[in-house]
Amino acid sequence: MLRREFLQVLAAAAAAGFALDGRAATAPAAVEQNYNLPRYGNVHLLHFTDCHAQLLPIWFREPDTHIGTGSSAGKPPHLTGERLLRTYALKPGSAMAYACTHLDFENAARTYGRMGGFAHLATLINMLRASRPGALLLDGGDTWQGSATALYTRGQDMVDAAKLLGVNVMTGHWEFTYGVERLQQVLERDFKGHIDFVARNVTTLDFDDAVFTPYVLREMNGVPVAIIGQAFPYVPVAHPARFVPDWRFGIRDVNLQRTVDEVRARGARVVVLLSHNGMDVDLKLASRVRGMDVILGGHTHDALPAPVIVGSTLVANSGCNGKFLSVLDFDVRNNRIQGYRYKLLPVFANLLAPDAAMQAYIERVREPYLKQLTEPLAVTEGLLYRRGNFNGTWDQLILDALMETQDAEIAFSPGFRFGPSLLPGETITMEALMAECAITYPQVNVREMRGSEIKALLEDMADNLFNPDPYYQQGGDMVRVGGLRYTCAPTAKMGQRIQNLRLAGKPLDADKSYKVAGWAPLADDAAGEPVWDVVAGWLRARKTVTPRHAAQPRLT
């Protein structure tokens, strides 16, 4: 198995002709250096998270703005660009610089190619498993949502892909937006006997009973290993509560301490928290709960080449969209961890040959929808990207479409982190558009809002993002704003972060009503056309679009 997969990688590397440090290298040298990791120790964990249903390789531009406040300011994961390169000693212009930063993204993308793709990820996982007996593959969640085919199949395409990939343990977030019945159907019908879904922080509203298995104990090469699940703690806040009407979520660090103590009492020598908290929350959690060896986290899409160490706990995050696979090896002897090795591996589609079985599955599951997926809507003359604290050109395009089609003065678009990029000259297909907005509550709505209500909304969103206490950060990035300009002071107190709101060059009147368009409403009775239909019609009428500079607030 190892030899076959290794030879596949060599062939792909020879065709690609690049090395991860940016210097010319032979294919064997590039693969040996970056993918053929020597086995270390006797406990082996493979981790990916936030793939957002991207079965195919994609472009994904990392953020240029990632602000931390309070004790998080200026520290990982709040590093971008040159500062991130310096911190982790990555060479500018290298493939790792391309994978981890936004720098010179268009040129780097054309040099190093697309990333991710489940067929390429499968090849890498098979290689690593062949050299690491008993290795566990952990999925941090946000797996069933983010693509057209995932929405059309209610996540079934990703459920079957995860089984084929060999996922062992999973926790969740966007999975809950398919509703209780659908989630339970998958766990009872598809996952049973294959994948353990763990989430210790989800209980019933009535009696506070556990809804899911809180943890699993596995023995690997004679070492008992505990995997504790931590689902996204704010599902009913960040999404319509109707999806999980009878369940309670939360961080619950006191309860987590009891769980850690329990698995230790049961003999666990390695304790892993498989988390979808977001990295800042995980860092605080690591400072408050003793006995965890590693937190393998997700939600905030942070791609860090090395874990952050809090006390005796490693805190790691494995990026998003299938771009990375984390490999963590522990050496456990005499009932104690003697050492570890960690590697964040970028998944380069040009280097890793696609796994034949996974590739065949992907083609089969996409075939019924190909006509819809491949419909050309328009050609973009500029880079389309989303990720960042405040706005991206993809978001700006959606905002422009909403304002024009709904005849609105102002538009709001959620601060979602999911959504691949498109390079200049590429066709915006229906599939590409759906990758930015494929959710189960996509309705577009228009309402009248007073200036004071608009400011209050922005203040609430800003506190959600910039509250210095990570436990109060309950969602994604800042809501994207169209038509309106404002000043933001991330480190100011709540209610004082948003100032100088201006519309068409004039101050926003607190008492005046404005016509505001938006989408992804949380209200149970929301009605409206799906956002993809609205934006698709707008794009079809244009044939070609030149993305506007993404409007950003002035920071103070």
Place of tokens 């079957």: 160
Adjacency order of strands within the sheet including 223-230: 215-220, 223-230, 270-275, 294-297, 313-317, 308-310
Is a pLDDT exceeding 50 seen at residue 3?
Answer: no
> Which pLDDT value is given to residue 473?
87
Kindly state the tokens that stand for 318: 């494995």
Taking a C-beta distance cutoff of 8 angstroms, is the pair 227, 215 a contact? yes
Is a pLDDT exceeding 70 seen at residue 364?
Answer: yes
Phi, psi of 325, rounded to the nearest 5 degrees: -130, 125
CA 336 – CA 11 distance, rounded (Å): 41
CA 214 – CA 192 distance, rounded (Å): 16
In percent, the amount of the chain with pLDDT more than 90 equals 90
> Which pLDDT value is given to residue 475?
73
**From its phi and psi, is residue 301 left (phi > 0), alpha (psi between -120 and 50) or beta?**
left
Strand runs labelled E in 55-144: 136-139
| Distance between first and last Cα of the chain | 56
* CA nearest neighbour of 201 among 122, 119, 141: 141
- Banded pLDDT at 9 (limits 50, 70, 90): very low
Residues 6+ apart with CB under 8 A from 147: 52, 53, 54, 55, 157, 431, 434, 435, 438
**From its phi and psi, is residue 437 left (phi > 0), alpha (psi between -120 and 50) or beta?**
alpha
CA 498 – CA 489 distance, rounded (Å): 7
- DSSP string for 296-335: EE-SS--B-SSPEEETTEEEEEB-STT-EEEEEEEEEETT
- Banded pLDDT at 548 (limits 50, 70, 90): confident
* CA nearest neighbour of 303 among 349, 272, 343, 341: 343
Residue ranges per structural domain of the chain: 37-58+114-364, 59-113, 374-555
- Banded pLDDT at 474 (limits 50, 70, 90): confident
The 10s digit of each residue's pLDDT in 210-262 is 999 999 999 999 999 999 999 999 999 999 999 999 999 999 999 999 999 99
> Which pLDDT value is given to residue 331?
98
- pTM for the complete prediction? 0.94
- Banded pLDDT at 82 (limits 50, 70, 90): very high
Taken as a whole, the chain contains a residue count of: 556
> Which pLDDT value is given to residue 21?
56
- Residue 494 per-residue DSSP state: T
- Banded pLDDT at 12 (limits 50, 70, 90): very low
Classify strands 554-555 and 513-519 as parallel, antiparallel or unpaired.
Answer: unpaired
Phi, psi of 427, rounded to the nearest 5 degrees: -85, 135
Taking a C-beta distance cutoff of 8 angstroms, is the pair 234, 247 a contact? no
Q: In this predicted model, which residue has the larger pLDDT, 25 or 203? A: 203
Strand partners, 502: 485, 507
> Which pLDDT value is given to residue 18?
59
Q: Nearest-5° angle of CA 43, CA 44, CA 50?
A: 140
- Banded pLDDT at 2 (limits 50, 70, 90): very low
Three-state SS at 24: coil
CA 10 – CA 27 distance, rounded (Å): 6
The 10s digit of each residue's pLDDT in 27-51 is 455 555 679 899 999 999 999 999 9
CA 304 – CA 76 distance, rounded (Å): 8
Strand partners, 448: 515
Strand partners, 210: 203
> Which pLDDT value is given to residue 526?
85
Taking a C-beta distance cutoff of 8 angstroms, is the pair 136, 43 a contact? no
- The whole-chain average pLDDT of the chain stands at 93
Q: Which of 69-78, 371-380, 396-405, 542-551 has the lowest mean pLDDT?
A: 542-551
Is a pLDDT exceeding 80 seen at residue 72?
Answer: yes
CA 453 – CA 510 distance, rounded (Å): 8
Taking a C-beta distance cutoff of 8 angstroms, is the pair 443, 534 a contact? no
The 10s digit of each residue's pLDDT in 393-443 is 999 999 999 999 999 999 999 999 999 999 999 999 999 999 999 999 999
- Residue 174 per-residue DSSP state: G
- Banded pLDDT at 17 (limits 50, 70, 90): low
Taking a C-beta distance cutoff of 8 angstroms, is the pair 200, 210 a contact? yes
CA 53 – CA 418 distance, rounded (Å): 10
Averaged pLDDT, 329-343: 97
CATH topology of domain 37-58+114-364: Purple Acid Phosphatase; chain A, domain 2 (3.60.21)
> Which pLDDT value is given to residue 551?
75
CA 34 – CA 31 distance, rounded (Å): 5
Averaged pLDDT, 190-201: 97
Exposed e or buried b for every residue in 152-184, given b needs 16+ CB within 10 A? bbbbbbbbebbebbbbbbbbbbbbbbbbeebbe
Averaged pLDDT, 504-509: 94
Arch. (CATH architecture) of 374-555: Alpha-Beta Complex (3.90)
> Which pLDDT value is given to residue 1?
36
